[in-house]
């Protein structure tokens, strides 16, 4: 182990070669891991058009359509419809929904699309956006040829109406969290 | 009325601070370049004055919050008269404008301290360091004044009351986490300034490394605590018991931490052996650039998260410009000047130098993988190539094995010697540690857990492999002395700091391994009278009540917990709160913390029929995560207190100091 006696240049070369080799391995592994773990985003319009792959982890988002949230009375299973006011997709989920989950509000789910056209979600993320719609969804709709006024107004109307109803409900009742479903 | 003018005074103070910062950057840098002592002497007073005026501005904003001045847009948007005073105080940094102001305050503060504690540094070095810091200050003060003025008024239509602080932020976490994290982020600006100063001045010797090390350690210690606090806060605040999400915002703070850790180790080699000089400089530049990148990611609104307050593209653009200029300029200086300071020192492949090189490589690889996973989706989005997200599996798949590989070398590092270590010595001193680590690590989960888990065993082996060689080293060092007391006394604080820092890593590894694999989570439907068993504990819901807080209404569950068949019972009270001003619901978790396990109960949602969805969790060793981080940062601070950093006050000639190789205890060891 007396490499320090060999010319410094040689040592430098080894360091450099080692660095390049390590970097190559690291980048290779990273890209591989990245490929296997990317979740693409799809809106209901894209899912209806058949763009989303089946049985693969994807993210999907839109608004929770009012009146579609169905709870199983004996378990934590829940079903609801995610819509972009053009197309719908049904979502199955088992677990606790986030605090900000509400009908008429934006939501992003992570899960797998199944053959029947429904999503089995592992994760539900609620989004509170000023434009009442997750930006990804709005963009997907615009790319599908819809104009913002087609859906944005609708989304805003529904959300505002539900909020107004909720505020009225809160004034009448005494419960802190009068759930709307 | 003076109180009515507070926001204007603050605004004006910011403008003055900007001008002072401009002078602080131009005059000393020009003075150092042209060797004019008078110009260089501008650095200290300007740094002091700038800090003073940023502090005045900051105090003014705080006063506006405390006085409920809702004519100030920032206060109206982020505070409320019902808010308790301590949240009003911390709400200052709970928004974009205020947090950037806090950033600048800390930057100016670090500049002030660098000016105060640099009496024994050569004049041109001080001038350059403070000049570079002044430049960074100019950038951030301009950013505030141009795009994010916190003193904007809402006149004449001022609201009667404020919109309230985001309920998620109404927590002790907001008071502690951001200031600590910023101290870390911003603290790296000092070592960055030192690096640029070394490049400009063309001098980088052991004395330089000795000046730069304490600043690096302090910033790193703050960042460590800041990250740990953030993790702890997310753990109990977000209501589902995760402690690290690989969220881009978290990654943004992890990136400078990783390179900062590499920097600390590389600085050690630069000080002791005069090697890795350009590498050290590059790391210093990278670390601060990643701090800026983190600020950009969090503050520009490219990410949607709790941390992203504003969505103004001009701000994002401004920080991106700032980042681009900083990185571009400093890399240019590096490319032009680095050959002048670099210098090769030979070392064997089995030596502390080489092991630290490997440590650095591993940390840089970790940084690159995290950076790639964080920035890739943003780049694709920016280039309109699709919306993707990179999930935790990616980060875990890379980060965990890399950490394990690194811990193998962490076991060897502290035992080995500078320049060259005989393999036989390592084998002789470490074979026992290796055997014990493997046997104990594999056996412990078998003894204490219901089922054996390979990942936990591997984690424990890694942790023991880090700790046992250090114990052996401590034993060897003390054994050589006449008495144990004398042996312990001879050990330097820097040595203890290193020991503690590495122990912290081991403790964190244990925490991560155990809680990730033995964590038990049950989501159940519970009404009064229902009970659920988790990990030997019986959770029974006694009743559902409600209560009224200062600014919220809460549904509250009373849960009685009984361990096994023992008679000892205690109650836990999770809440679901509704904040009145914003109408936002929030989950208040009930925690029963313990050294070996946490019990965690959160209310999910009202299921309508008198029952609630409840999340009940058993989290073994979760505290160890943050305990480890705390140990690491204590280690970092302890190393700063080492007497060789104080001794430099009496070593007037840095050139002479540079000639002596090590000076400390480590030097004696190398020749032993």
How many whole angstroms separate alpha carbon B182 and alpha carbon B101?
11
A7 occurs within a structural domain: no
**A176·B554 Cβ contact <8 A:** yes
On whether the CB atoms of residues B514 and B621 are closer than 8 A, the answer is yes
CA-wise closest residue to B107 among B82, B142, B71? B142
CATH number at residue A100: 2.40.50.140
Give the CA angle between residues B245, B248, B252 to the nearest 5°: 110
Which residue of B278, B306, B385, B394 is the best one to mutate when testing the A interface, meaning the one whose CB has the most A CBs within 10 A? B394
The two structure tokens encoding residue B502: 């590495």
Q: Given pLDDT bands bounded at 50, 70 and 90, which one contains residue A132?
A: low
On whether the CB atoms of residues B393 and A37 are closer than 8 A, the answer is yes
Question: What pLDDT was estimated at residue B665?
Answer: 39
Question: What pLDDT was estimated at residue A166?
Answer: 63
Q: Which of A29, A33, A41 sits opposite B388 (nearest CB)?
A: A41
**B372·A34 Cβ contact <8 A:** yes
Question: What pLDDT was estimated at residue A90?
Answer: 94
CB pairs under 8 A between A and B: 126
A154 occurs within a structural domain: yes
Question: Of A106-115, A145-154, B506-515, B569-578, which range is least confident?
Answer: A145-154
Q: Which of B390, B583, B607 sits opposite A37 (nearest CB)?
A: B390
Compare all CA atoms of chain A with the CA of B387 and give the residue at the minimum distance: A41
- Residue bearing the bigger pLDDT, A160 or B420: B420
Average pLDDT over residues B540-545: 93
On whether the CB atoms of residues B99 and B58 are closer than 8 A, the answer is no
Number of domains in chain A: 1
Which residues on chain B are in Cβ contact (under 8 Å) with A10?
none
How many whole angstroms separate alpha carbon B257 and alpha carbon B468?
25
Question: What pLDDT was estimated at residue B272?
Answer: 87
User: Reduced to 3 states, what is the DSSP secondary structure of residue B592?
Assistant: strand
**A40·B361 Cβ contact <8 A:** no
CB atoms within 10 A of CB B326: 22
Which residues on chain B are in Cβ contact (under 8 Å) with A139?
387
Question: What pLDDT was estimated at residue A57?
Answer: 86
Q: Which letter does DSSP use for residue B72 in this model?
A: B
Question: What pLDDT was estimated at residue A62?
Answer: 84
**A34·B373 Cβ contact <8 A:** yes
How many whole angstroms separate alpha carbon B646 and alpha carbon B648?
5
**B606·A127 Cβ contact <8 A:** no
Assess whether pLDDT exceeds 80 at residue A146: no
User: Reduced to 3 states, what is the DSSP secondary structure of residue B306?
Assistant: coil
A13 occurs within a structural domain: no
Instruction: Supply φ then ψ for residue A93, to 5 degrees.
Output: -150, 145
Q: Given pLDDT bands bounded at 50, 70 and 90, which one contains residue B383?
A: confident
Instruction: Give the long-range contacts of residues B452-460, CB within 8 A, separation 24 or more.
Output: B453/B517, B453/B518, B455/B513, B455/B516, B455/B517, B456/B513, B456/B514, B456/B517, B456/B518, B458/B404, B458/B513, B459/B509, B459/B510, B459/B512, B459/B513, B459/B514, B460/B510, B460/B513
How many whole angstroms separate alpha carbon B600 and alpha carbon B522?
10
Question: What pLDDT was estimated at residue A6?
Answer: 56
Assess whether pLDDT exceeds 60 at residue A181: no
**B348·A59 Cβ contact <8 A:** no
Compare all CA atoms of chain A with the CA of B343 and give the residue at the minimum distance: A8
Q: Which of B348, B546, B615 sits opposite A176 (nearest CB)?
A: B546
| Tens digit of each residue's pLDDT (9 = 90 or more) over B60-105 | 999 999 999 999 999 998 898 888 999 999 999 988 899 999 999 9
CB atoms within 10 A of CB A75: 13
CA-wise closest residue to B459 among B509, B403, B504? B509
On whether the CB atoms of residues B497 and B639 are closer than 8 A, the answer is yes
Question: What pLDDT was estimated at residue B651?
Answer: 43
Distance from CA of B368 to the nearest CA of A (A): 9
A131 occurs within a structural domain: yes
Average pLDDT over residues B186-214: 92
Which B residues 567-626 touch A at CB under 8 Å?
576-578, 583-587, 604-609, 613, 615
Question: Of A139-153, B470-484, B517-531, B658-672, which range is least confident?
Answer: B658-672
A2 occurs within a structural domain: no
Distance from CA of B362 to the nearest CA of A (A): 9
Under 8 Å CB-to-CB from B94, ≥6 apart: which residues? B78, B165, B166, B169, B174, B178
Distance from CA of B467 to the nearest CA of A (A): 27
On whether the CB atoms of residues A72 and A126 are closer than 8 A, the answer is no
A112 occurs within a structural domain: yes
Question: What pLDDT was estimated at residue B198?
Answer: 94
Q: Given pLDDT bands bounded at 50, 70 and 90, which one contains residue A33?
A: confident
Compare all CA atoms of chain B with the CA of A177 and give the residue at the minimum distance: B578
Q: Given pLDDT bands bounded at 50, 70 and 90, which one contains residue A2?
A: very low
Distance from CA of B565 to the nearest CA of A (A): 28
**A100·B608 Cβ contact <8 A:** no
The two structure tokens encoding residue A150: 């087609």
Please state at what angle helix B172-201 crosses helix B206-237, rounded to 10 degrees. 160
CB atoms within 10 A of CB B344: 14
Which residues on chain A are in Cβ contact (under 8 Å) with B350?
1
Question: What pLDDT was estimated at residue B602?
Answer: 92
| Tens digit of each residue's pLDDT (9 = 90 or more) over B348-366 | 778 888 899 889 989 998 9
Question: What pLDDT was estimated at residue B648?
Answer: 52
- Residue bearing the bigger pLDDT, A150 or A89: A89
CA-wise closest residue to B241 among B612, B597, B646, B536? B597
Distance from CA of B343 to the nearest CA of A (A): 11
Average pLDDT over residues B381-410: 86
Percent of chain B with pLDDT over 70: 93
Question: What pLDDT was estimated at residue B649?
Answer: 46
**In terms of residue numbers, what domain contains A78?**
40-163
Q: Given pLDDT bands bounded at 50, 70 and 90, which one contains residue B664?
A: very low
- Residue bearing the bigger pLDDT, A158 or B250: B250
Which residues on chain A are in Cβ contact (under 8 Å) with B523?
76, 94-96
Q: Which letter does DSSP use for residue A100 in this model?
A: T
Which residues on chain B are in Cβ contact (under 8 Å) with A99?
239, 576, 584-587
A23 occurs within a structural domain: no
- Residue bearing the bigger pLDDT, A155 or B12: B12
Which residues on chain B are in Cβ contact (under 8 Å) with A59?
387, 389
Question: What pLDDT was estimated at residue A131?
Answer: 56
Compare all CA atoms of chain B with the CA of A78 and give the residue at the minimum distance: B607
Mean residue pLDDT of chain B comes to: 88
Question: What pLDDT was estimated at residue B111?
Answer: 95
Average pLDDT over residues A32-41: 80
**A97·B607 Cβ contact <8 A:** no
Assess whether pLDDT exceeds 90 at residue B626: yes
User: Reduced to 3 states, what is the DSSP secondary structure of residue B594?
Assistant: coil
Question: What pLDDT was estimated at residue B647?
Answer: 58
Instruction: Supply φ then ψ for residue B82, to 5 degrees.
Output: -80, -10
A106 occurs within a structural domain: yes
């Amino acid at each position: 182990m007396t490499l320090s006696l060999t010319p410094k240049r040689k040592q430098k070369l080894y360091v450099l070669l080692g660095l390049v080799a390590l970097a190559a391995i690291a980048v290779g592994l990273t890209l591989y891991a990245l490929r296997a773990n990317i979740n693409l985003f799809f809106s209901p319009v894209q899912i209806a058009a058949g763009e989303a792959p089946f049985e693969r982890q994807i993210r999907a988002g839109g608004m929770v359509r009012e009146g579609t949230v169905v709870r199983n009375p004996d378990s934590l299973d829940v079903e609801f419809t995610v819509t972009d006011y053009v197309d719908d997709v049904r979502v199955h989920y088992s677990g606790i929904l986030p605090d900000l989950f509400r009908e008429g509000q934006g939501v992003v789910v992570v899960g797998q699309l199944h053959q029947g056209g429904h999503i089995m979600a592992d994760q539900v993320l609620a989004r509170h956006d000023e434009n009442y719609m997750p930006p990804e969804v709005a963009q997907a709709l615009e790319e599908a040829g819809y104009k913002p006024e087609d859906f944005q107004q609708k989304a805003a109307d529904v959300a505002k109406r539900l909020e107004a109803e909720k505020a009225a409900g809160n004034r009448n009742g005494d419960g802190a969290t009068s759930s709307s479903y | 009325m003076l109180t009515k003018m507070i926001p204007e005074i603050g605004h004006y103070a910011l403008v003055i601070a900007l001008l002072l910062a401009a002078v602080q950057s131009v005059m000393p840098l020009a003075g150092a370049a042209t060797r004019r002592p008078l110009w260089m002497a501008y650095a200290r007073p300007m740094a002091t004055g700038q800090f003073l005026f940023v502090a005045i501005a900051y105090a003014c904003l705080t006063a506006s919050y405390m006085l409920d001045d809702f004519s100030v847009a920032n206060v109206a948007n982020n505070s409320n008269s019902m808010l308790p005073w301590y949240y009003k105080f911390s709400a200052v940094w709970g928004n974009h404008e205020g947090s950037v102001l806090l950033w600048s305050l800390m930057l100016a503060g670090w500049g002030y301290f660098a000016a105060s504690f640099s009496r024994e540094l050569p004049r041109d070095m001080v001038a350059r360091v403070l000049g570079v810091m002044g430049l960074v200050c100019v950038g951030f003060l301009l950013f505030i004044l141009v795009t994010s003025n916190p003193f904007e008024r809402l006149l004449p239509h001022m609201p009667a009351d404020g919109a309230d602080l985001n309920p998620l932020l109404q927590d002790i976490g907001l008071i502690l986490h951001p200031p600590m994290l910023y101290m870390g982020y911003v603290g790296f600006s000092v070592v960055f300034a030192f690096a640029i100063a070394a490049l400009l001045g063309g001098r980088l010797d052991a004395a330089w490394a000795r000046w730069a090390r304490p600043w690096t350690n302090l910033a790193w210690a703050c960042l460590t605590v800041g990250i740990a606090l953030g993790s702890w806060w997310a753990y109990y605040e977000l209501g589902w018991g995760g402690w690290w999400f690989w969220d881009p915002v978290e990654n943004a703070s992890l990136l400078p931490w990783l390179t900062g850790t590499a920097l600390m180790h590389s600085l050690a080699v630069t000080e002791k052996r005069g090697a890795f000089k350009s590498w050290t400089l590059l790391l210093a530049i990278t670390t601060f650039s990643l701090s800026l990148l983190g600020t950009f990611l969090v503050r520009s609104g490219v990410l949607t998260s709790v941390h992203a307050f504003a969505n103004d593209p001009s701000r994002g653009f401004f920080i991106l410009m700032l980042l681009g200029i900083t990185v571009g300029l400093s890399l240019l200086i590096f490319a032009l000047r680095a050959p002048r300071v670099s210098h090769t020192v030979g070392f064997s492949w089995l030596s502390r130098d080489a092991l630290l090189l490997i440590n650095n490589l591993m940390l840089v690889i970790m940084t690159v993988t995290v950076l790639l996973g964080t920035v890739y989706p943003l780049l694709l989005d920016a280039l309109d190539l699709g919306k993707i997200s990179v999930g935790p599996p990616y980060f875990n798949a890379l980060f965990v094995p890399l950490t394990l590989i690194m811990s193998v070398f962490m076991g060897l590092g502290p035992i080995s010697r500078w320049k060259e270590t005989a393999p036989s010595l390592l084998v002789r001193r470490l074979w026992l540690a290796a055997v014990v680590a493997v046997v104990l690590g594999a056996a412990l989960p078998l003894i204490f857990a219901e089922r054996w888990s390979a990942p936990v065993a591997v984690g424990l082996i890694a942790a023991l492999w880090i700790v046992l060689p250090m114990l052996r080293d401590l034993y060897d060092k003390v054994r050589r002395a006449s008495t144990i007391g004398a042996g312990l006394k001879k050990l330097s604080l820097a040595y203890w700091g290193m020991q503690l820092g590495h122990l912290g890593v081991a403790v964190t590894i244990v925490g991560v391994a155990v809680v990730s694999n033995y964590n038990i989570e049950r989501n159940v439907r519970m009404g009064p009278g229902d009970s659920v068993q988790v990990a030997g504990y019986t959770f029974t819901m006694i009743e559902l009540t409600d209560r009224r807080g200062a600014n919220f209404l809460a549904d509250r569950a009373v849960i009685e917990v009984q361990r096994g068949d023992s008679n000892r019972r205690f109650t836990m009270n999770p809440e679901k709160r509704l904040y009145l001003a914003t109408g936002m619901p929030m989950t208040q978790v009930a925690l029963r913390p313990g050294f070996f396990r946490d019990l965690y109960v959160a209310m999910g949602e009202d299921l309508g029929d008198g029952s609630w969805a409840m999340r009940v969790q058993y989290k073994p060793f979760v505290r160890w995560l943050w305990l480890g981080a705390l140990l690491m940062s204590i280690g970092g601070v302890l190393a700063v207190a080492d007497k060789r950093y104080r001794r430099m006050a009496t070593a007037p000639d840095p050139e002479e100091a540079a000639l002596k190789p090590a000076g400390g205890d480590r030097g004696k060891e190398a020749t032993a």
